[in-house]
Amino acid sequence: MAAEGDFLARYRAVSNKLKKRFLRKPNVAEASEQFGQLAKELKQQDCLQYAAFCNLAMARCEQTLFNAPGEALALTDAARLFLSSEKENRALQAPGFDEHLQAALNCYSFATKVYIEMNQPVMAASLCLELGNALKEINRPGEAIVHYQRAAELQTQTPIEALLSMGEMATCKILTRDYDGALSVFTEMQLICQEKGLQLPGSITPVGAFLDIVAKCEISRVLLLMLLEPPPQKLLPEHAQTLERYAWESFDPHSQLTFLPENVFLLLQSVVMACQEKDTESLKSLQTELWPFLTAEQNHLLHLVVQERITPSGQGI
């Protein structure tokens, strides 16, 4: 309590220096420096929320001084401190109203806005990603989606980074069981890769990192289509085109539209046929063969597809 009282006294003392007095201009730069020093001391004492409030006061001083980089940095420090305080409370299972989390969200939002006004979209996107990752870490994937989406919108000049942010958005949609939404995101990612990705002369297949992303999207989209089983009248043209590639009679190992290794393509084609024939035993066998070639997320989707065939009432989803 003594330390808390000392903190409040010092905070008030610095705040009083900012009050306007007759024929005397407040020294905002000195106050900002003192708030920053107090924040460092409080952080060392593990008083994270108090340190965050000092950083907020420092941000207001930097705003008064028209120092946008300093304001953005102070807001970012405050956001991270509030977030750390929230994580500590959750680790201790302390009751609360998510007040520190809400404060962190506000600080990240203001810092992002400052970076956008400074014409630094990359820095703004990095904060959106940081917040999205933090929300996913504390088991709030539904709230993280909007921040990953914002990051992707800010990364239009760097397609690979934008695609990775969209991939995180699709993951969150899968975690919240919005499989239709995840399918839409993966479809959009695949289109972006084919439009903006580097391509070999005379080919429409992207190369490098774009090809890796296209291959991942292709597998995820096929598995999501098998999970959702949309009726033919509701099947979008791009999804129908994807499924047509996996019909037995359409296989061409030299086709330019084959984004996957031949063995993976054939196994995935067998999964599509097994689902259409409702052959559960073959599906289980294919799941074992496909397992080493898929990511953890894709294996989860394949597991859901198998469960849906075993319990067709919808319990798999």
Q: What is the pLDDT of residue 250?
A: 54
Q: What is the pLDDT of residue 258?
A: 67
Given a cut of 70, whether residue 215 has pLDDT beyond it is: yes
Non-local (6+) Cβ contacts of 130 within 8 A are 108
Average pLDDT, integer, range 197-223: 85
Q: Is residue 300 part of a domain?
A: yes
pLDDT tens digits, one per residue of 120-141: 999 999 999 999 999 999 999 9
Identify the residue whose tokens are 């400052």.
Answer: 114
Locate 2 and state its tokens: 């003594």
Q: Is residue 83 part of a domain?
A: no
206 bridge partner residues: 199
Phi, psi of 45 (to 5 degrees): -85, 5
pLDDT tens digits, one per residue of 51-100: 999 999 999 999 999 999 999 999 999 999 999 999 999 999 888 889 99
Q: Domain count of the chain?
A: 1
Distances (CA, A) of 127 to 57, 109, 123: 20, 9, 7
At 289, which helix (H) or strand (E)?
A: helix 280-290
Q: Is residue 46 part of a domain?
A: no
Q: Is residue 281 part of a domain?
A: yes
Q: Is residue 259 part of a domain?
A: yes
Average pLDDT, integer, range 226-250: 84
Q: Model pTM greater than 0.85?
A: yes
Q: 119 versus 94: which is more confidently predicted?
A: 119
- Gyration radius of the chain's alpha carbons: 26
Residue 259 DSSP SS3: coil
Phi, psi of 297 (to 5 degrees): -65, -45
Q: Is residue 312 part of a domain?
A: yes
> Which domain does 305 fall in, by range?
243-317
Q: Is residue 271 part of a domain?
A: yes
Measured torsion, CA atoms of residues 276, 273, 286, 246, in degrees rounded to the nearest 10 = -130
pLDDT band at 1 (very low <50, low <70, confident <90, very high): very low
Locate 123 and state its tokens: 């820095």
Q: What is the pLDDT of residue 233?
A: 84
pLDDT tens digits, one per residue of 142-159: 999 999 999 999 999 999
Q: Is residue 115 part of a domain?
A: no
pLDDT band at 205 (very low <50, low <70, confident <90, very high): confident
How big is the chain, counted in residues? 317
Angstrom distance (rounded) from CA 112 to CA 119: 11
Angstrom distance (rounded) from CA 218 to CA 202: 22
Q: What is the pLDDT of residue 37?
A: 95
